[in-house]
Structure 1
Amino acid sequence: MSDNLSIQILDYYTWEIPDSEIGQGLLLKTNRGSIKTIVHQSPQLQTDKAIIWVCGANGGFEGPANGMYRTISESLKNTIRSIRMDYREPNVLSECALDILSTITFLKSLGHSQIVLVGHSFGGAVVITAAEFSDLVIGVVALSSQGYGTSTVANISPRSLLLLHGGSDTRLPSEISEKIYLYAKEPKEIKIFPGNSHGLRESSDEITLFVKNWILNILE
């Protein structure tokens, strides 16, 4: 990511999320445009732990594995603040990484010091790119990641890295995660789920539990 790129939060507002969604709409106004997010937290939550979730090249909030992002965020809202974040400029890696860094800045203002980043597909490259630029990030999860934009994966260390991929992914084959794993430094882990396609729907319950437990172990 170019050193001359920067982003600054100017203000933040609530926004009305779609009827099909659950959580609290939070709009981060920055000097590069506004970032839509959905926050999951119980009233009066006090914690230094947080998760930022991002999707693929088209953006949005849903995520893979039949809504895993929403499921885990809701299940942990009493102890961990989750932010599902949409991109200002989907499929523009540098801008999307800046969106994550801006969201991290917002979380820092709330007192967060332990943050896990989770991204799917294109979002895997986004979280890998962004992670090295914040000492508050302690863990990174890349689901069905693309290869482009992951060449700096070694810089994530000493943060923990989880690479997860479907063994039957025809869009982005699991060999991509295996290659990322080779270039990454410890601590790192890779998990291939046989029979799963790019969206990780075939074993969604198992994958959701696996990712949730991995995050809880990192944020313990």
Structure 2
Amino acid sequence: MAATVHHAPQTLGPIHPAKVEKSAVKPSIARKITIRVVDPLDHDAPAILHEPRSYNATQANGSAVVLISGAGGGVSGPAGIYPSLADKFALVLAIPCIRLDYREPARKEYCTADVIAAFDYLKEYFNSTKFVVVGWSFGGSPCFAVAAREPERCRGVATVASQTAGTEGIRKLSPRPLLLLHGTNDTCLSPACSETLYNEYGTQGPRELKLFEGDDHGLSRNAVEAEKMIFMFVARTLGLEKALDEESAETVGQDLAGSKSERVEEMKAGRDLEGGERL
């Protein structure tokens, strides 16, 4: 079965967050890639890979992160936080991160295969064996599907404004950690979605639900705080807290994306405001 790639890799951007060049933060090594996915579609998923400037698989504890977006795909994430998060994972925690687009957006079975193929890619090139997946909106569905299918490799899940459709895999996530973030003024998906997921996860494991009062579907009013919460969740889940010191903690809290209008531009460049997604 032949199919066309939804977004050609060269159409995706930005590679780094908008303000990284004006900050004291050096960008990671990052480039556009394609990831081979062998299934009935049998074609490549576009992505942006961020890697540490000096990589040591032992020091990285075999860890990596995969960031995925909403119903239209894309690589910038909610409020454009993914370029910044990916750079910080590579620079502060010294682990690789993939900002993964979909071959067929909003089709859970294919998007799930894309994420698992990203795991395999990171295993091949970085010897990564432990992953945290982060998903926005529709992206919660493949995140929880992957968690159910990959109980050894997927060590935790964080979501922003997740839907509940297709998220039955959350019942198999416990006792692995869960972080749920949602805005109370989300007009795309009610915060009740994340509240439902919080309850469906159960009580046998660390779970956190953070509702941001008055915020939207992309948490644009609290983007810096949301980004930091996700970063710290990943560091704890992968056992990398020791990599954090006073200097790196300052880097983690920096706003590298800027104003809401600048974040919207990042989302447009990342092709995230498609498929019905909006702030």
Corresponding position of 2:101 = 86
Give the RMSD, CA atoms, in angstroms. 1.5
Q: Distance in 2 between matches of 1:43 and 1:93?
A: 34
Alignment partner of 1:59 is 2:73: yes
Q: Larger relative contact order (C-alpha < 8 A, sep ≥ 6)? A: 2
Corresponding position of 1:34 = 44
Q: Distance in 2 between matches of 1:97 and 1:195?
A: 31
Corresponding position of 1:104 = 119
Aligned to 1:56, the other structure's residue is in SS state coil
1:44-193 to 2 correspondence within 5 Å?
44-46=54-56, 47=60, 48-65=62-79, 67-78=80-91, 79-109=94-124, 110-134=126-150, 135-185=152-202, 186-193=205-212
Structure 1 residue runs of 4+, over 3 Å off?
15-20
Give me the TM-score of the superposition, normalised by structure 2. Answer: 0.70
Q: Distance in 2 between matches of 1:19 and 1:138?
A: 28
Offset, 1:20: 3.5
Structure number with larger C-alpha Rg: 2
Aligned to 2:220, the other structure's residue is in SS state coil
Q: Distance in 2 between matches of 1:180 and 1:75?
A: 28
Q: Distance in 1 between matches of 2:48 and 2:72?
A: 17
Offset, 1:19: 6.2
Offset, 1:37: 1.1
Corresponding position of 1:3 = none
* Structure 2: gaps of 5 or more residues: 1-8, 17-29, 241-279
Task: Please state which structure has a larger fraction of its residues in helix.
Answer: 2
Offset, 1:153: 0.9
Identity of aligned residues (%): 31
Give me the TM-score of the superposition, normalised by structure 1. Answer: 0.88
Which sits farther off after the overlay, 155-164 or 43-52? 43-52
Q: Distance in 1 between matches of 2:218 and 2:171?
A: 26
Offset, 1:16: 4.8
Contact 1:144 1:166 in 2 (8 A): yes
* Structure 1: gaps of 5 or more residues: 1-14
Q: Distance in 2 between matches of 1:84 and 1:18?
A: 10
Count matched residues: 205
Task: Please state which structure has a larger fraction of its residues in strand.
Answer: 1
